[in-house]
Structure 1
Amino acid sequence: MSPPIDLGLPLVPPEPVAECGVCAVLAEQRVGELRAGDFSRATDRSVEIRRHDAGHGGG
């Protein structure tokens, strides 16, 4: 039998850059999706924020 899979801890949701309109819209969408219980879409939005943040010199 193979050993159990270690998935690790979930990533901390990224913080939007305060002066960026794109970040603000993505963050607002993520909040709405979390309130609606659509965790899949909220995770997608976090990925978009994280990838977009790379353009700000972030992660």
Structure 2
Amino acid sequence: MPDLTQAVQLSDPLRTLEPVPFFACDVCASLGRQREAARKLGDLSTVSDCNIEIRKHPHEVKR
């Protein structure tokens, strides 16, 4: 039987899967700053909301 007295270390899936803001875009840059401020306060709900908005924010792809 496994030793259940040891703490399990889990990674934070929200942190590894976060979108990278396009900082040349004012909206994305603002969301990126808001996300980092929320993370410092421990407000993971706002961090998640910012991630969703960054993912959904459209940018034209140059060809």
Q: TM-score, normalised by structure 1?
A: 0.71
Instruction: Give the residue type in structure 1 aligned to 2:47.
Output: A
Q: Which residue of 2 aligns with 1:32?
A: 37
Which protein shows a greater Rg? 2
Give the match for residue 23 of structure 2.
18
Q: CA deviation at 1:21?
A: 0.6
What TM-score, normalized by structure 2, do the two folds share? Answer: 0.67
Residue of structure 2 in register with 1:56 after alignment: 59
Structure 1 unaligned residues grouped into runs of 5+:
1-9
Deviating above 4 A after TM superposition, structure 1's stretches of 4 or more consecutive aligned residues are none
In the TM superposition, what whole-angstrom CA distance separates every residue of 1:14-35 from its partner, at most 9, and x where no partner exists?
Answer: 0011210100000000000000
- Structure 1 residue 44 displacement after superposition: 0.5
- CA deviation vs aligned residue, 1:38-59 (integer Å, no higher than 9, x gap): 001110010000000xx1147x
Gaps of 5+ in 2: 1-12
How many correspondences in the alignment? 47
